[in-house]
Amino acid sequence: MFVATYPSPLGTIVMESDGEVLTALRFEEGQPGMQSGNSGNGTAPHSMPTQAIAVFNEAKRWLDEYFSGKRTENAVMGATTDGRISVRPKGTAFQQRVWQALLTIPYGKTVSYGDVARMVGCKSAQAVGQAVGANPIALLIPCHRVIAAHGKIGGYEYGIEIKKRLLELEQR
């Protein structure tokens, strides 16, 4: 596992890679508005310089463009040749289906947990909520775009303030 950081306008972002694709992206714990949660898999990071890992350079470029309002497409699970970042989150088959559905939510749009449940053929918005909350690759797999059925922002692994700011950024 390789680890790199990115200084975003919303706080430090920690990225993890297997050396080929991004396996995790999260806001660093201990920042204002943060909740404890996805803190990695406990594996010690590899000592290779992070600038040698191409996906980190791609992710940093993606994040620069995202935070400046120029990047609107999501990542893609698996290999890609169209310039999008390849991600490989670890999770159950159900979580993978939910995360794949999240990748279809357009930039600047929101959907409800129930909408996602219908997208994946699940009767339980609560089960979908748990899978959304377990997303290990924030922003690139846009779990922040999922809100409660009545339009309330709802929970977010990294705090409601960060979720609000991400949604506001995408509305500009």
Q: What does the alpha-carbon distance between residue 45 and residue 17 come to, in Å, rounded to a whole number?
A: 9
Residue 118 to residues 64, 97, 114, 121, 154, Cα–Cα distance (Å):
33, 12, 6, 5, 19
User: At a CB cut-off of 8 Å and minimum separation 6, what does 35 contact?
Assistant: 156, 157, 158, 159
Residues marked active site are found at 143
Which residue in the block uniquely carries the two structure tokens 């959304």? Answer: 132
What amino acid is encoded at 10 in this protein? L
Asked if 85 contacts 64 with a C-beta cutoff of 8 angstroms, the reply is no
Backbone angles phi, psi at 23, to 5 degrees: -110, -15
